[in-house]
Chain A
C-alpha cells in the first residue's frame, strides 16, 4: 500500500461533514437515500446501502458500519461495497464517526418524533379538556341563569366578573353594566365592611363562607344571605370568589315573627300556672313539659320526657289515655279527666286534664293542660268536713247525723235489718267545766269521742248531738249486741278516769228503730230512755219501751 493512497482528501472529509449537516434538515424517508448516495462517492466505494442487522456479514469487499446509540442498534447497518479498500482505508475512522453521528441524529429525531407525538396527544387532550370545560362552563352558565338565586363571581377588590340573570333582574341592571364594576361602590358602608371581613377570612383550607348583610334596594334595607366560595392559586393567593345569594328579607321577617311567637309561647307555656305538656298522640310519650309541671312534680325534664302519663301515674291506664286521644282526634270535645297523683312532697295532687291536637306541618301533637285543683279539692274537703263534723271532737255533727239516720231508716226498712240508736250523755259534765275549766271540758269531750269511736265499726255513726251528748247508730246490730256495746261504752268511761277531769260516768239511752217510725220519733224514744237512765241515778244504760228486737 503506497503512502499516496493513504493521503486524506479534504474534499471527501467535507462531503462527510456536509452530509452530516444536511441530514439534519432532510425528512426521514430521504436521509438514507441521500447518505448512501453520498457514501457511494467515497474513494474505493462502488455502492453504499442500508441493510438490516445480520443480513450480511462483513468481508474484505464489504465494510459494515452499524448504526448504534451505545449498545442499542438503530435502524440497521450502513454497508459499503468496496472495490479498493486501500483507497477507503484512510476514511474508515471518519466513517465510523459519521455513522455514530448519524445514529445520534436519527436517535434525536426519533426522540423528537416521540415528543411531538406525545405533544400531539397532550394537545389533543388539552383541546378535549378545553372543549369539555367550555361545554361545562356553557352548561354552568345556562344552569346558573335558570337558578332563582343570584350568582356572581368577583375579584377580591369586589370587581364583578360574572353575574347571572337573577342577579341582573334583582338589581334591575344588565350584565354589561354590572360586570367590571366594584359592588363595594353600590353597597352601604356596613355591608362593605361585612363583605370585606368575609373576604379577609378566606383561607385555602377554609374556602367557603356563609354570611348575611343588608343592602339598600329601592331605598329600603333588605336582607341578603350569601354563600361564597373562594379560589386560590397554588401559592395560596386569593384569585376570585364565587357567590350564591338569596334575598332573605321575607325569611328574616318571618324569623323575627317566629322569635316573637316563640317568646310568647315560652311565656304562655313555660310559665303557665297550669301544668302543660306536649306529647306524641300515638305513643303517648311526653315530648316537653312546662316549668310548672316540673316544679309541681319535683322532677327534672329528663325524668319526664320520653315517658307516658300512665307511666308517671298521672293517667289511670293506657286504655283510658287512648280513648281520650281517640275522642280528641275524632273532633269530639273531651271530658276533662281527673288526675290524682303524689306531688314532689308525696302529698296528693289533684288535677283535671284536657287535651287538644296541634298540627305543625305534617306532624301532630297532643297538647295536654292539667289544671291544678289540689287547693280547691282540699278546700272543698275542708268545707265538707266542717259542714258535717264537729269542730271540737272531729266526729260527725248533728246535721250529718240527721241525714244519716234518715238514710239508715230507709235502708233498714228496705232490707229489714235491725237499727239500734244510742244517745249517750256525760254525767255531771257541767261540774267539769266549772271545776277544771272549759279547756279541760273540751279535752274530756275529745277523749270521750275517741273512746266511743274506738269501739264502733267503720259504718256505724258517732256524732256529737249537742253539748256533752253523743249519738251512735249501729245499722244491722241486734238489740242484744247494741245493749252489750252500750254497756262496754259505759264501763270504759267509768273505769278509766280522765286525765283532765278525773273519774266520769256516762248514761246511755237505747232505742231500736221500729218499722214505720220516723227519725224524730225514734230519737225521742232513745232520748226518753236516756232520761230514764239519768233519773234512775246515772251511769247506766236504759232501753226504750217497745224495743223488742
Chain B
C-alpha cells in the first residue's frame, strides 16, 4: 500500500493541494500580493516543504514576523535552507535575459535537491516583473509558464505565479491565464476554464510562429 500523498495548503482559503500545482495569482494591490506571499511561505514551512520566494517585494522582516507570530523562527528555517528568498532579477533575469530552459533547469534542480535533503515537497512563489515582456517577449514568457506545467509532471514542484494586474495589460493577463491550470479568484483557488494544456498550447505557439 502506497503512503498517503503529501497534501498541503498553499495559503489560499486553506484548500489542501497535492504537490505540483501551478497557480496563477493576479493581484490588484501590494497588500494582496504580500499577504499571498506570506501565507504561501507559512503554509509551506508548516507543511515541512522547502519554500522559495522570488520577488522584488520579498520583505524579509515581514516574513520573519509572520513566521514568528506562528511560532516559527525565520532565522532557524532560513539557516536550514527551508526558506529561500531571491530577487526576480537575479533569478529570472540572470545575465540580463530571460531563458525558459535555464529557469526550468533551476526549478528542476531545486525540486530534486529538496527531496534529496529530505523535504517531502518543494514550492516556489514568483512575482513576475512586467519587464519580462521587454526582455523576452510575451511568447517566451507563456512558453515558459506552459513548460512549467510539463515539468511538474516529472518534478511536482508547487508553483504560484504572481502577476501585478496594474502592471500587465488585460490582454496579457488573459493570455497568462491560459497557461495556468489553476487561478486565484476572490481569494480562492479554482480550476481555470481558460487553461490550455501545454502540449496544445505549445503546438499552437509553434504553428503561429511558422
Do chains A and B stick together as partners?
A: yes
What residues on A are CB-neighbors of B191 within 8 Å? 14
Pick from A12, A25, A27, A37: contact of B186, CB under 8 Å: A25
Q: Are B26 and A37 in contact (CB under 8 A)?
A: no
Please report the C-alpha to C-alpha distance between residue A12 and residue B193 in the assembled complex, in whole angstroms.
7
B contact patch SS: mixed
Q: Are B170 and A21 in contact (CB under 8 A)?
A: no
List the B residue with the shortest CB-CB distance to A14.
B193
What residues on A are CB-neighbors of B177 within 8 Å? 18
Known: A22-B26, A38-B174. A30 touches B186 (CB 8 A): no
Q: Does A179 contact B (CB under 8 A)?
A: no
What residues on B are CB-neighbors of A11 within 8 Å? 193
Number of interface residues of A (CB under 8 A): 24
What residues on A are CB-neighbors of B168 within 8 Å? 30
List the B residue with the shortest CB-CB distance to A9.
B193
How far is the CB of A262 from the nearest CB of chain B, in Å? 79
A 7-51 contacts with B by CB, 8 A: 11-15, 17-18, 21-22, 24-27, 29-38, 41
Please report the C-alpha to C-alpha distance between residue A22 and residue B193 in the assembled complex, in whole angstroms.
12
Q: Are A34 and B171 in contact (CB under 8 A)?
A: yes
What residues on A are CB-neighbors of B170 within 8 Å? 26, 30-37
What residues on A are CB-neighbors of B28 within 8 Å? 25-27
Please report the C-alpha to C-alpha distance between residue A13 and residue B173 in the assembled complex, in whole angstroms.
19
List the A residue with the shortest CB-CB distance to B25.
A25
A contact patch SS: helix
Chain B 177-210, CB-CB to A under 8 Å as 1, else 0, gives 1000001011000111110000000000000000
Please report the C-alpha to C-alpha distance between residue A11 and residue B168 in the assembled complex, in whole angstroms.
25
Please report the C-alpha to C-alpha distance between residue A31 and residue B177 in the assembled complex, in whole angstroms.
14
Q: Are A27 and B174 in contact (CB under 8 A)?
A: no
Chain B 5-40, CB-CB to A under 8 Å as 1, else 0, gives 000000000000000000000111000100000000
Please report the C-alpha to C-alpha distance between residue A14 and residue B192 in the assembled complex, in whole angstroms.
8
Please report the C-alpha to C-alpha distance between residue A547 and residue B28 in the assembled complex, in whole angstroms.
156
Pick from B173, B190, B192, B194: contact of A26, CB under 8 Å: B173
Q: Are B169 and A30 in contact (CB under 8 A)?
A: yes
List the A residue with the shortest CB-CB distance to B170.
A33
List the A residue with the shortest CB-CB distance to B185.
A21
A 468-482 contacts with B by CB, 8 A: none
Q: Does B175 contact A (CB under 8 A)?
A: yes
Q: Which of A32, A35, A36, A37 has the most CB of B within 10 A?
A: A37
Known: A11-B193, A25-B28, A26-B165. A18 touches B171 (CB 8 A): no
Q: Which of B172, B175, B185, B193 has the most CB of A within 10 A?
A: B193
What residues on A are CB-neighbors of B46 within 8 Å? none
Please report the C-alpha to C-alpha distance between residue A15 and residue B174 in the assembled complex, in whole angstroms.
10
Q: Does B106 contact A (CB under 8 A)?
A: no
Pick from A12, A14, A26, A33: contact of B26, CB under 8 Å: A26
What residues on B are CB-neighbors of A14 within 8 Å? 191, 193
What residues on B are CB-neighbors of A35 within 8 Å? 170
Q: Does B57 contact A (CB under 8 A)?
A: no
Please report the C-alpha to C-alpha distance between residue A17 and residue B192 in the assembled complex, in whole angstroms.
10
Q: Are A30 and B185 in contact (CB under 8 A)?
A: no
Q: Does B166 contact A (CB under 8 A)?
A: yes
List the B residue with the shortest CB-CB distance to A28.
B166
List the B residue with the shortest CB-CB distance to A18.
B193
Please report the C-alpha to C-alpha distance between residue A26 and residue B169 in the assembled complex, in whole angstroms.
10
Please report the C-alpha to C-alpha distance between residue A30 and residue B175 in the assembled complex, in whole angstroms.
13
B 117-176 contacts with A by CB, 8 A: 165-166, 168-175
How far is the CB of B139 from the nearest CB of chain A, in Å? 15
Q: Are A18 and B190 in contact (CB under 8 A)?
A: yes
Chain B 89-128, CB-CB to A under 8 Å as 1, else 0, gives 0000000000000000000000000000000000000000
Q: Are A25 and B165 in contact (CB under 8 A)?
A: yes
What residues on A are CB-neighbors of B169 within 8 Å? 30, 33
How far is the CB of B116 from the nearest CB of chain A, in Å? 38
Q: Are B27 and A15 in contact (CB under 8 A)?
A: no
Please report the C-alpha to C-alpha distance between residue A12 and residue B194 in the assembled complex, in whole angstroms.
8
Please report the C-alpha to C-alpha distance between residue A153 and residue B170 in the assembled complex, in whole angstroms.
60
Q: Which of A12, A15, A17 has the most CB of B within 10 A?
A: A15
Q: Which of B32, B168, B174, B185 has the most CB of A within 10 A?
A: B174
Please report the C-alpha to C-alpha distance between residue A459 and residue B174 in the assembled complex, in whole angstroms.
147
Please report the C-alpha to C-alpha distance between residue A76 and residue B98 in the assembled complex, in whole angstroms.
39
Q: Are B171 and A15 in contact (CB under 8 A)?
A: no
How far is the CB of A28 from the nearest CB of chain B, in Å? 9
How far is the CB of B86 from the nearest CB of chain A, in Å? 26
Please report the C-alpha to C-alpha distance between residue A25 and residue B177 in the assembled complex, in whole angstroms.
14
List the A residue with the shortest CB-CB distance to B165.
A26
List the B residue with the shortest CB-CB distance to A35.
B170
Q: Are A18 and B173 in contact (CB under 8 A)?
A: no
Additional pairs, 4, CB under 8 Å, beyond known A14-B193, A17-B193, A25-B32: A22-B26, A25-B185, A30-B170, A37-B170
- A residues near B (Cβ < 8 Å) are 11-15, 17-18, 21-22, 24-27, 29-38, 41
- B residues near A (Cβ < 8 Å) are 26-28, 32, 165-166, 168-175, 177, 183, 185-186, 190-194
What are 24 A-B residue pairs whose CB atoms fall within 8 Å in the complex?
A14-B191, A18-B185, A18-B192, A21-B186, A25-B27, A25-B185, A26-B26, A26-B173, A29-B166, A30-B166, A30-B170, A31-B170, A32-B170, A33-B169, A33-B170, A33-B172, A33-B173, A33-B174, A34-B170, A34-B171, A37-B170, A37-B171, A37-B175, A41-B174
The 5 closest A-B pairs by CB, nearest first: A33-B170, A34-B170, A14-B193, A37-B174, A37-B171
